[in-house]
Every structure is written in structure tokens, then in C-alpha cells.
Amino acid sequence: MALTYSSYLKIDELLMLQQPLADEKAHDEMLFIIIHQAYELWFKEILHELDQLQTLLKTCDFPRSQFTLKRILAVLKIIIAQVDVLETMLPFGFLAFRNRLETASGFQSVQFRELEFALGHKRRKIFEFLPDASQARQRLEKRYAQSTLWDALLAGLAKSGYPVPVEALHRDVTQPIVPSIPVQKLLIDLYIGSPPLVYLFEMLLDFDQGFQDWRYRHVKMVERMIGQKYGTGGSAGVGYLKSTLFKPFFPDLWAIRTELQNQ
């Protein structure tokens, strides 16, 4: 049989994946399912692009890196915009099916944890919630051991001949990215003397800021829905989500802002 739009995209299978658990009175459950399935698809795409971006940075292909970042930023805008759609639900609409979620929670999204790990926000505590032999555990263990996007950038800069501090190139990639004065001095020099790289750095900052914007919008959306109630996965709900705010992935790019004003 000839390939069709439906068979290529597996439309029939896709449209069978939305299975509300509540009765017809819980009208908003369909929206809730579709939005979160869409999130997971976009997470998959961002991870796909981040892997490509790391390869491009490590091989010093900075121009193509910018095109990949442009795509990631475009996807991030869609993810943030989806919060607008979720906010069309009233608390009563969500409460009509919330109890059916039992312990299911966005906290359990493995792809979101992969995103955090790829960007440097790694912690072993996450593994406590995953069975040892599970595929999800294996995927996260792989991300945990891999270099981050920031490490890829520094490796590419070093390969291009820029004096990246040795300790930054050989750090333990399983540990959090911490601000580095020597790295910041290098970045300031590059902002002054290497204009082509500045746009790349600023796009990375756009991504960092956009991710923080999404976290904030998500926190406020959850607060609108459930107030200060505990999350379905047993987390502290809004309290936990607020604790994740304002934690940049690229602290050195933020740290040099003040110094750049003095140049």
C-alpha cells in the first residue's frame, strides 16, 4: 500500500493515545492529556537538537550551532505558549479529574530530567525514584555521565585556540556547573575581541532565560489550579516548584553582565 500522510505519521495510533480516566463530566481532562503529551514530544525534539548542538560546538562549528539554537529557542517559545492554553482551565475543571491521577506527576517526566542533566542540573537524588533496571534509569545514567552543553562550548573554544582554563576543561561533569572567575575573564575578552562569538553566547543566554521563564509560568499556572496543595506525586507542589526558580544553567554568562558595563 502506498505511503500516506496518515500512515507516515501514524495518525490512527496517535489519536488513540488520549484516554481520559474520569467520566464525561471531566471535560478538561482531554486538554490536560494532549498538552502534556505535546510537552513530551517537544522535550524529545529539544533533546534531539541539544545532542546535535553539542557535536557542533565540540567541532567548532559555531555558525551552524547558532542555527540549531535558533530552532531550540523557537520550540521553547511554543512550550511557554502552551501554558496559556492550560490556564484556560478553571480550578474546578482540574479538580474534576485530579484524584484520578493518583501518584502520577510531571515530577516523573524522565525526558525533562534528561533535559536538566544535559544542561548541567544533575543530582543523584533523582535516581531514587527509578527502578534500577528500567530503561528510564539507563537513559538518565547515560545523561548523568555525559558532558553538558556548557562543557561542549568550552571544549569547542579550546579546540579553536582560545585559552580556556584547564580546570574547566577537565572538571567532573557529574557535578553542578559553578561560576569560574578564569572562565569569566575569558568570556569578557571574547565579548570584546571576538564579535562573531557574542551572538552565540547571547543565544545561549536567551535559552537559559527562556527556560527560567517557562519554569516561572509553570509555577504560577500550578498555583492558579491547586494553590498550596501537595502535588500528586507527593512533592510539596508549588513550594517545590518555587525552589527550582532562578537557577541558571550558564552562571558565568550571567556573572559577567556587571563587568561588561565597565568595558
Q: How many whole angstroms separate alpha carbon 87 and alpha carbon 47?
A: 26
Predicted confidence at residue 126, as pLDDT, reads: 85
Place of cell 548523568: 144
Q: What is the DSSP letter of 17?
A: S
Q: List the chain domain ranges.
A: 27-102+149-260
For the segment 37-42, the average pLDDT, to the nearest whole number, is 96
Arithmetic mean of pLDDT over the chain: 90
Report residue 148's pLDDT band, with 50, 70 and 90 as the boundaries.
very high
120, 176 Cβ separation under 8 angstroms = yes
238, 227 Cβ separation under 8 angstroms = yes
Report residue 263's pLDDT band, with 50, 70 and 90 as the boundaries.
low
Mean pLDDT check: name the lowest of 71-75, 86-90, 93-97, 114-118: 93-97
Nearest alpha-carbon partner for 247 in 183, 177, 147: 177
* pLDDT exceeds cutoff 70 at 25: yes
Q: Taking the domain 27-102+149-260, which CATH number applies?
A: 1.20.58.480
Q: What is the DSSP letter of 256?
A: T
Q: How many whole angstroms separate alpha carbon 81 and alpha carbon 217?
A: 9
Mean pLDDT check: name the lowest of 73-77, 128-132, 249-253: 128-132
Higher pLDDT, 90 or 54: 54
* pLDDT exceeds cutoff 60 at 158: yes
Q: What is the DSSP letter of 146?
A: S
Report residue 132's pLDDT band, with 50, 70 and 90 as the boundaries.
confident
Cα three-residue angle 166-171-175, rounded to 5 degrees: 160
pLDDT tens digits along 194-236: 998 999 999 999 999 999 999 888 888 888 887 765 545 555 5
